[in-house]
């Protein structure tokens, strides 16, 4: 039992250590950017959470396809865990972007295509979760939610290439296949950004894993409640009487 508890602390401990290293690199190790000053440090938060927000919706889509193909509820639970975690990172993506935009652009929001498609991604998460919360439980809810999650992933490549297709205030991609030579990050800035992306990725997979585990337990409890509610009243009364007799004999 002690060994199991110690093993469970490995992942959160590693995540906490990696996040501490990231914060140290962001605020103490990496030099201040010449043009933007300290506000440029928002890069090390904004890019990782944006990356995770897009990875999460892809996870939802992949799990949704797997569920539609296999009808295995574990894939449905994985999609829910990805959506519930991804919506947090999508919200952080919007917040950190606006915090960075205000001193640099002079406004909180420009309404350009890349920002609008990002906001759409956040609403896709919200719509997915609201549908799951209010639609009656069952196979139909899981199937329709899977379709919503699959369609939602279409927004991800549009967000990534948005600055290339509609160039405005938002800079072009600084990492990935569409990054340009003069916009790519390198040196201490690039190292810090990569460590930050790794740290937030580990944090996401840890939180999503824990949410999946909790979702599985919730489904098991709901299944037990359904099983009890379907039992004949006489059987329930008999079980309660047996439990009472055992309690009385124990006294």
pLDDT at position 174 is 57
CA gap 251, 249 in Å, rounded: 5
Amino acid 171: pLDDT: 59
Q: How far apart are CA 224 and CA 173, in angstroms?
A: 50
Identify whether 60 is part of a domain.
yes
- Where in the sequence is the domain holding 137, given as residue range(s)? 40-173+181-220
Domain count, the chain: 1
Q: Select from 167, 48, 55, 28 the least CA-distant residue to 96.
A: 48
* Residues near 248 by beta carbon (within 8 Å), at least 6 away in sequence: none
Residue with tokens 């140290």: 24
Query: In this structure, is residue 125 part of a structural domain?
Result: yes
The reply to whether 11 falls in a domain is no
Query: Is residue 108 in some structural domain?
Result: yes
72-101 burial, b for 16+ CB within 10 Å, e for fewer?
eeebbbbbbbbbbbbbbbbebbbebbbebb
Which pLDDT does position 232 carry in this prediction? 60
- In this prediction, residue 247 carries a pLDDT of 44
Tokens of 52: 């995770």
What pLDDT score does 250 carry?
45
- Report residue 178: phi and psi, to 5°: -95, 5
Q: Is residue 22 part of a domain?
A: no
Predicted TM-score of the model (pTM): 0.81
Q: What is the DSSP letter of 132?
A: H
| DSSP code at position 32 | P
CA distances (Å), origin 131, targets 123, 137, 218: 12, 10, 18
With respect to residue 228, please indicate whether it lies within any of the assigned structural domains. Answer: no
- 136 Ramachandran zone, left/alpha/beta (phi>0; psi -120 to 50): beta
- 88 in any annotated domain: yes
Is 117 part of a structural domain of the chain?
yes
- At residue 219, the pLDDT reads 79
- The pLDDT, as a whole number, for residue 65 is 94
| Positions in the chain short of pLDDT 70 | 1-7, 162-186, 231-251
**List of residues 6+ apart from 219 with CB closer than 8 A:** 73, 77
């Amino acid at each position: 039992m002690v060994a199991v508890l110690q093993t469970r602390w490995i992942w959160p401990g590693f995540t906490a250590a990696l996040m501490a290293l990231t914060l140290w690199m962001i605020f103490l190790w990496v030099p201040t950017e010449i043009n933007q000053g300290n506000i440029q440090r928002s890069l090390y938060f904004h890019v990782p959470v944006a990356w995770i927000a897009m990875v999460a919706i892809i996870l939802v889509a992949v799990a949704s396809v797997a569920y539609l193909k296999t009808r295995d509820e574990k894939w449905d639970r994985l999609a829910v865990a990805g959506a519930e975690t991804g919506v947090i990172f999508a919200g952080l993506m919007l917040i950190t972007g606006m915090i960075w935009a205000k001193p640099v652009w002079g406004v909180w929001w420009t309404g350009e295509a890349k920002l609008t498609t990002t906001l759409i991604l956040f609403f896709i998460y919200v719509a997915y979760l609201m549908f799951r919360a209010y639609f009656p439980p069952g196979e139909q809810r899981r199937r329709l939610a899977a379709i919503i999650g699959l369609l939602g992933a279409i927004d991800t490549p549009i967000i990534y290439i948005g600055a290339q297709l509609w160039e405005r205030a938002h800079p072009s991609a600084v990492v990935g296949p569409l990054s340009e030579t003069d916009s790519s990050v390198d040196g201490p800035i690039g190292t810090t950004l990569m460590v930050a992306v790794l740290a937030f990725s580990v944090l996401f997979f840890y939180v999503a894993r824990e949410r999946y585990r909790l979702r599985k337990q919730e489904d098991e409890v709901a299944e037990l409640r359904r099983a009890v509610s379907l039992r004949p009243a006489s059987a329930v009364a008999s079980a309660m009487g047996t439990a009472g007799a055992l309690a009385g004999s124990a006294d």
